[in-house]
Amino acid sequence: MTDLKTVLLFFSFSMGPFLLHLMFNLFYFLLIIAITIAAFFISYTSNNHQVFVAYLVVIILLSFLIRRTIFLKWDLGLNIHFIRFLHRLEGHESEIEEAGSDSTRVNLPQNPGETLKKIKENLKKSGIYRIPFKLLTALAAPYINGQELFKESSHPDSILRLKRYALRLTLMEALAFLLLLIPFGLISFLFTIGVESAVKVLIYVLGFFFAWFLHSAIVLPISGLILQKRIVKIM
């Protein structure tokens, strides 16, 4: 059973955690769209285009921070549900539906960032530095789930292999984002034919945010769970 197939089965039989993750991403996306349109009209009416440019820079940087703090709990919750799904499967494909029916509540720490910091410090003691945030999140999920985290996976060679695997997944995520930008770019082009340049900018920006939403709500969770399965395999 391939990693991607397992993730898709998890989404099929345990839709609750994924739908919750999708709902919060959708709410965040709609909020960003509303603020973006407001920032555009403020910039347009004041004839100060630097306001809109500055807004875009700030909102993109702020979004990375928000996803590493506020969204961290939802990412960890999804990963923990996936770990429980894998444990209940125990290699028996005939038990997939039963494994997906597990709705045990996930109790997350009040400050999951502290858990990530603790894991990062333990890895530094083993000589492992510059751990991708995606890998830290995937390592934190079994730890929060009550499992002994550092067995074989604590070996520096195993962590380095996971680090390289996480970086490959990041490259695939970037490629997926570029592929998502293509159709939204074409749609934006069609909608901006004959439209004044200022409005063109807004439509292209909204197209960018649409692609970003799909990437954050679908591509990133799938990539994160694929990495999570790889970690479960070696624990």
* Cβ-contact 52, 39 below 8 angstroms: yes
Q: Over range 83-93, report the average pLDDT.
A: 74
14: left (phi over 0), alpha (psi -120 to 50) or beta: beta
Confidence label for 205 from pLDDT (cuts 50, 70 and 90): very high
Q: How many other C-beta atoms are found inside a 10 Å radius of the C-beta of residue 77?
A: 20
Q: Over range 197-221, report the average pLDDT.
A: 93
Q: What is the per-residue pLDDT for 58?
A: 95
Summarised one tens digit per residue, pLDDT across range 99-155 is 444 445 677 878 888 889 888 888 887 778 888 899 999 999 988 887 766 554 456
Rounded Cα distance between 178 and 184, Å, is: 10
Rounded Cα distance between 7 and 221, Å, is: 9
Residue 9 C-alpha from the chain's centroid: 18
For 53, the token pair is 């440019």
pTM of the model: 0.86
